[in-house]
Structure 1
Amino acid sequence: MAYPTPVNGQITDTVSQSTLMSVGTAGSVARSVITQGFAAAMAASGQNSTAQQEATQILADAAMTAALARMETGGGDD
């Protein structure tokens, strides 16, 4: 128990323990927040990369379709 105070010693013990708990866990909480932020950034990066590859493939497919259509109609030498 805490030293004699005007309030109940159990109350001051609880406040002291809560403060120590907050100070003691601050480092691990900060590291976990940073880790979660990094993980979210990496996930977004992966999703953006996939979306870019899909868009590039759509453009390549469109170009191939246009080239094949032009070849079927005789090459377009007007």
Structure 2
Amino acid sequence: MANEVNSQVTDAITQTNVKVVAEAPAQAMASFYQMMASANGLAATNAVSNQHNLNQLNPTIVAQAINMIKAG
């Protein structure tokens, strides 16, 4: 049994390994950008939700303030 490996096979494996290692930073940055986009979307959703909740409370707060002013 021969212990030699065809040089084309070793070259192909080396090129594949280099390609995978070379793509890792790009994959990491893509994942980071997707995570940041998701976080920004959630922040906007929370801001809208908080504004909605405050808009529901405003009439009650104004009515209470008017009652306090009337009571003197």
What is the TM-score normalised by the length of structure 2? Answer: 0.68
Counterpart residue number, 1:37: 28
Cα deviation digits, residues 9-61 of structure 1 (max 9, x gap): xx5134x4443223223332122222221111111000000001111111111
**CA separation in 1, counterparts of 2:66 and 2:17?**
71
Q: Which has the higher contact order (CA 8 A, sep 6+)?
A: 1
Q: How many correspondences in the alignment?
A: 68
How large is the Cα RMSD of the aligned pairs?
Answer: 2.3
Q: Structure 1 vs Structure 2: percent identity of aligned residues?
A: 10
Structure 2 residue 38 is the aligned partner of structure 1 residue 47 = yes
Counterpart residue number, 1:65: 56
Greater helix percent: which structure?
2
What is the TM-score normalised by the length of structure 1? Answer: 0.64
Q: Is there any run of 5+ residues in structure 2 with no aligned partner, and where?
A: none
Structure 2 residue 65 is the aligned partner of structure 1 residue 75 = yes
Q: Is there any run of 5+ residues in structure 1 with no aligned partner, and where?
A: 1-6
Counterpart residue number, 2:5: 13
In structure 1, give the amino acid aligned to 2:59: L
